[in-house]
Amino acid sequence: MSSIKDKEKQTKPAVSRRGFLGGASVGGGLLATSLAVQEADAQAAGKLSGLGEVAITLNINGKPTNLAVEPRVTLLDALRHKLDLTGAKRVCDRGTCGACTIMVNGKTVYGCSVLAIDAVGKQIATIESLGGPGKLHPVSAAFVKHDAQQCGYCTPGFVMAAKAFLDKNPNPTREQVQKGLSGNICRCGTYVGMREAVLEASRSMRNA
């Protein structure tokens, strides 16, 4: 687990009844709250099954998006299963590998380690907010040029982590790049290309 990822999320307690009620009531409005209470009460009564979804609105890539999720669903699963935003990948599913890296309120977070209901009212940005294949973001373009991907499953997470890193560190050294991207893991072994890609992206973004 990287120490440079969102501190706020790390200090939050794990899923608890109080935790998700609080999250839902702050952002979800009255309806969501009452549904959440019903669901929570149902769970407290030992009824773990059932269609216990709550309606929430998430602000994703600049657009308010309505969806229904169970309170226990992670932001990553909500994006992937409910909204077909599948750039962020589910790999370790416990905040280690970075394949699900997205931005919440301008900070990188592991989407697998945030509940969807806790993201209500926040600005969520996924890799789909960056340019597509026809109009690549400079980070994505540098990844292609330096062949910083093989199977490509870790790539969207790395691209998001690299973009966020460069936003804060526009002119990094190689060592800073290595430290800054230490919260992500690649299995195919594409780090050599990645190091070059991030350094090149920093140059092209500064010159843009």
Partner 1 sequence: MPEYSWPPMNKRAVMGKSFDRLDGPQKASGRAKYSSDLNKPGQLFGVFLHSPHAHAKVKSIDISAAKAMEGVTAVRIIAGPGAELQWAGAEVAIVSAVREEIAKDAIRAIKVDYEILPHVVQEQDLSKVGSRAKAAGEQVTGDPDKAFKEAAAVIDGQYGCPVITHCCLEPHGNVVQWTGGTVNLWPSTQAVSSIGGDLAKQLEIPATDVKVQMDHVGGGFGSKFPSDRWGSEGAKLSKESGGRPVKVYLDRSNELTIGGVRPSAFAKIKVGANADGKIIAWQSESWASGGVGGGGMPPIPYVMTKIENFRLNHTAVSLNAGPARAWRAPNHPQASFLTCSALEDLAAKLNMDPWDLFHKNVEMSARPEVYRKQLVKAAELMDWKKKWHPRGAETGNIRRGVGLGMATWGGAGHASKCKVSINADGTIEVEIGSQDIGTGTRTCITQVAAETFGLPMSAVRVKLGDNAFPASGPSGGSTTIGGVSSSTRKAAVNALEKLFERVSPGLGVPADQLEAVDNKIQQKGNPAKGLTWKQACQKLGVDRISEMGENVPAQAAKEGLNTLGAAGIQMAEVEVDVETGIVRMRKMVAVQDCGLVVNPKTAASQVYGACIMSICSGLMEERVMDRVTGHVLNDDMEFYKLAGMGDIGEIVVHMDITPENDKRGIIGLGEPCAIGGLAAIANAAANALGVRVPMVPLTPDRVLAALSSDRRNA
The residue type found at 149 is Q
C-beta of residue 90 within 8 angstroms of C-beta of residue 77: yes
Provide, rounded to whole angstroms, the least separation between the CB of residue 75 and partner 1: 14
Tokens of 129: 């907010």
Q: Give the contact letters, 98-127, x = binds to partner 1 (CB under 8 A), - = no.
A: -x--------------------------xx
Q: Binding residue for partner 1 (CB under 8 A) from 10, 65, 169, 182?
A: 182
Number of residues that bind partner 1 (CB under 8 A): 68
* 132 touches partner 1 by CB under 8 A: yes
Indicate the pairing of strand 101-104 with strand 107-110. antiparallel
Provide, rounded to whole angstroms, the least separation between the CB of residue 118 and partner 1: 16
Kind plus residue range of the DSSP H or E element containing 11: helix 7-11
Residue 78: CB atoms within 10 Å:
26
Comparison of 93 and 121: residue with beta carbon closer to partner 1: 93
* 159 touches partner 1 by CB under 8 A: yes
Angle between helices 191-207 and 155-168 (to 10 degrees): 40
Which of 158, 91, 169 has the alpha carbon at shortest distance from 127? 158
Comparison of 59 and 190: residue with beta carbon closer to partner 1: 190
C-beta of residue 96 within 8 angstroms of C-beta of residue 106: no
Angle between helices 191-207 and 138-145 (to 10 degrees): 140
Residue 173: CB atoms within 10 Å:
11
Q: Give the contact letters, 54-83, x = binds to partner 1 (CB under 8 A), - = no.
A: ----------------x-xx---x--xx--
Taking contact as CB under 8 A, which single stretch among the options 3-11, 29-37, 59-67, 137-145 is the one that binds partner 1?
A: 137-145
**Contact residues for partner 1 (CB under 8 A)?**
1, 48-51, 70, 72-73, 77, 80-81, 84, 86-94, 96-97, 99, 126-128, 130-134, 136-137, 139-141, 143-145, 147-156, 159, 177-179, 181-182, 184-195
